[in-house]
Structure 1
């Protein structure tokens, strides 16, 4: 007869299950509490970093050491909260594990940046008056820059390494709030890496480029984003400056109209000729159709030499948005009939100026005067806001620099400022989207674009798909509302307001072009190669208000890499770029 007690074995099983359940509940509570704490610490890292960037941008360098220590403390706490054995065990839980792994990796990256990058940056700010650097009184104070090069290189290397690690975190596999945190970290690291990299480049290159070893002369070419070219826009205004012993002087100015088309085109690479014909090597305004600035700048320099009879030591290209951004650092300026200020400069330069001065030759002369006036004002302005506006423009890929001196050019070509087509590696790839106006007008001020890069495997082959959404937002009454200088007129088949744009999609290195469509239908493309990259170029005609979606596939070796970034022509408005997994729908 039973005494009501379970057999010993069953009691042991029940106790074991209960212990396991309690242990699991404890473990869940443990990682939940630590996860909340880590999230709070990472939020503090983000907010404090934003404050640090703002203070550096405004020249408030006294706060940098304390802010850096605070960032380091929060980052180290986040790392400790996400590195214990219980947390690591949860990384193996299906579905949730990716989020735990990503949280730990974010914390590790933040802690490494705090230790490896912020420490040398703090040493620089303590010994170098960054707030005093700039175009003050026509000269740049480089005192202390030699001592800053080594710590800046250390910081730049650490930030580049951290940026690469952050990009490897699979945000798509994480929970939405964490995915936002990963993207925030990436954005912060990208901006910091570009800024510190530019400072390191300045420390290494500026002394010689500013004439410490003899006078230098540079052409500054202003690209008009309202008429798109691969690197930004058609060249309109040009300035030539002289640098000697850190002193910068504006010594000349010109318009692209001062350069007659060459009878014998300058040589361009085979791929460029296939996409754009002789125009980049014949007409100065079109030299920026060449997508690699290391190839475009020597063409510009040679055209300058043929026209004016003397060589230059380098070429600097900036676009209209850079000019507009400078107004953030300057007071309102008058260049009759224009009034330029920070709030309206972009619209004034890209849209309203053509209505105010509709004659093409007079408008070109006006833009030369605008560029010269702004440059002269910047030489004597408070240097810190000027530097901040230039740094923001450089981050957006709107400033490109080439040097005729080989040692300097090697360093520039390896940096974002060099404007070269990026190189791929085994686990990181790049694609490009190039916009070139074929309308003969200035309607790209009304253009809008979005790019999506999708990677994966289709039918057993690694595949990269680039999707480009392109919109013409010109007014429906463009014939009446806009002058001919804007609507164009070089093609009599185009109605006012219609745009024809050459859109070239550049694939990953070594991948093959493997199909294309426009709005889901087959469309003619021009195919060629830019070095080791396959290119598919669409010719797109749009009426005001129309949109289209272009798709180009690349397959085989070099394609399908998850970490695939996109570079693109800088347009007047920001271009949204997204990365998604590939859906094999064709």
Structure 2
């Protein structure tokens, strides 16, 4: 058969059948000039694109370096600004804020543009460039919105700001700035969430390190703005901007330990209206006693504290849960007085010393001139040695507290100096506050002022929590020997367990510094009722495990110790009664296992004494982040 025009026949030399192939294929095997020109054009275009991408990449890389430099400086400026605001250095703070805003704006400008959009389509570049943009937007929002509002609010506490005129604080500026501060805090918390959502492990090394560092800075700022937000929402109504308020002020005496500090020997009724706070009444705690419990007492409370917890004002803080203390105090007050109260405030002599550092000394009707250096020792020890009549001790205490508060309420001392002193005392658990108004108490509860009995606190934005170990003392001497009781606590991380929990050892040491000759002390100090030998110190020691945790064993000198075990507010607690002779010391060791969700560093909460409690943390953290 004859081949068609589109076919050719190949006849092999060996006589085999001829092979036929397409002429089109043969023509296609030879590339036409047009096709070659097309492919060449494509290759040139691709080459140009590569060159462009490389060029854009270099451009972006240069911008990234500029962003890094700006953000590094900005990260250093943030704590500097916070310190200046806290110190009341307004001019320096304004200059630092301006520099921070310039750096933040420069970083944001350097992280935008068409070249960023083009290069960010590359899989390797995308997460890193997006991270840079998230960080710059967060820092820019921080500099433009959050920190200026925070500085404005803090300025109200500085000289000429949150100050008194004729014994009254002008609440107007605080009310005016409140919405900005609340909005700024919301922006900071949202920005912090965005930062936490970035995974440093997916980013190039230097960028991942920078994100981690800036996240830590944002967390610190977030803590500050959250505090400011609470303050501007709480202060005006609690100071009477929306109507008159009344508060019970419990003045605790650390010489006779109670879980939250000391026996509340004096009760002062404060009234607040439109920024003016006055002393309406003051009475000794001994006036407030009841033959029956004023509120129901649970089984654990009865076993740990006795029914006097709800019968005597002097014993309402046997419990370490201050909201419970406050409710009991209000109920006892209501048994004797029909004036309704809106909250309870508690302080101790160390707080008074801090205030006196700003207001100056006072001269009580009897006794020495009291200064910030001697007021603690005299109020909880010296007065008992100088004044023989026990009935006059509480009177003296009331007079000093009232005189000091009158000084403060009259405007003595700068508020800018008093507030830091109160803040430090609050961090030490010496200033506690409870509100009878639920919306206010909800804001107070998670703060150091709240004094709520908790077994853990949030460690960050990733759900991990830090375990809280509670170590509380209640006097068993019926005297004022707590003045001679030194305390120290050492916490050691023994093991990070596979389930995320950790095994701890908590060593609690108590030492008596009482005089060897107890005869030099009056009976009112050594204890009434013959409960202990004069000079000995009897103390009920309560140690609370973190929530979901347990106390595996308790030893003293390596020997097992019997304890009273209870479940109080869903926390495991071990109680021991200790007895120390003058100069004696005893250490109790607790092996504690936390719950699996608590890998963070341990937080200690303990009864504040007349002197600082020595604390030490040993061992590597079990935190996962």
- Mark yes or no: TM-score above 0.5: yes
Name the counterpart of 2:416. Answer: 384
1:370-405 residue CA offsets vs partner (Å, 9 max, x unmatched): 111111100122322222222222222211111111
Name the counterpart of 1:480. Answer: 519
Distance 1:451 1:252 in 2: 43
Please, which of 557, 575, 590 is the counterpart of residue 519 of structure 1?
A: 557
Name the counterpart of 2:591. Answer: 553
Distance 1:272 1:290 in 2: 8
1:332-411 superposed matches below 5 A: 332-335=361-364, 336-380=366-410, 381=412, 382-411=414-443
Alpha-carbon distance, 1:340 to partner: 1.1
Name the counterpart of 1:3. Answer: none
1:499-536 residue CA offsets vs partner (Å, 9 max, x unmatched): 11111111111223321112221112111112221111
Instruction: Specify every segment of 5 or more residues in structure 1 that has no aligned partner in the other structure, as ranges.
Output: 1-33, 78-107, 167-181
Contact 1:397/1:416 (8 A) holds in 2:
yes
Alpha-carbon distance, 1:263 to partner: 3.2
Alpha-carbon distance, 1:569 to partner: 1.6
SS of equivalent residue, structure 1 residue 476: coil
Distance 1:73 1:480, change over 3 A: farther
Contact 1:217/1:313 (8 A) holds in 2:
yes
1:318-351 residue CA offsets vs partner (Å, 9 max, x unmatched): 1221112111111211112231112222222232
The answer on 1:130 being equivalent to 2:157 is yes
RMSD: 4.1
Contact 1:500/1:539 (8 A) holds in 2:
yes
Distance 2:616 2:184 in 1: 28
1:257-296 superposed matches below 5 A: 257-264=286-293, 266-296=295-325
Contact 1:508/1:558 (8 A) holds in 2:
no
Alpha-carbon distance, 1:463 to partner: 4.2
1:94-243 superposed matches below 5 A: 116=142, 120-126=146-152, 129-131=156-158, 132-153=161-182, 158=188, 196-243=225-272
Alpha-carbon distance, 1:353 to partner: 2.2
The answer on 1:508 being equivalent to 2:546 is yes
Distance 1:385 1:415, change over 3 A: same
Alpha-carbon distance, 1:452 to partner: 1.4
Name the counterpart of 2:339. Answer: 310
Contact 1:153/1:200 (8 A) holds in 2:
yes
Contact 1:134/1:140 (8 A) holds in 2:
yes
Distance 2:557 2:103 in 1: 49
SS of equivalent residue, structure 2 residue 335: helix
Contact 2:351/2:422 (8 A) holds in 1:
yes
Distance 2:616 2:489 in 1: 8
Instruction: Specify every segment of 5 or more residues in structure 2 that has no aligned partner in the other structure, as ranges.
Output: 1-64, 107-133, 197-211
Distance 2:513 2:379 in 1: 16
Contact 1:314/1:402 (8 A) holds in 2:
yes
Of the two structures, which has the highest relative contact order with CA contacts closer than 8 Å and spacing of 6 or more? 1
Alpha-carbon distance, 1:253 to partner: 0.5
Distance 1:202 1:490 in 2: 46
Name the counterpart of 1:245. Answer: 274
- Which shifted more, 378-387 or 239-248? 378-387
Contact 2:550/2:592 (8 A) holds in 1:
yes
Contact 2:252/2:261 (8 A) holds in 1:
yes
Please, which of 434, 450, 460 is the counterpart of residue 418 of structure 1?
A: 450
Contact 1:456/1:562 (8 A) holds in 2:
no
Distance 1:129 1:501, change over 3 A: same
Name the counterpart of 2:53. Answer: none
Distance 1:437 1:113, change over 3 A: farther
Distance 1:205 1:477, change over 3 A: same
1:21-40 residue CA offsets vs partner (Å, 9 max, x unmatched): xxxxxxxxxxxxx9xx99xx
Name the counterpart of 2:464. Answer: 427
Distance 1:214 1:376, change over 3 A: same
Alpha-carbon distance, 1:306 to partner: 0.5
Distance 1:514 1:216, change over 3 A: same
SS of equivalent residue, structure 1 residue 329: helix
Distance 1:67 1:388, change over 3 A: same
SS of equivalent residue, structure 2 residue 449: helix
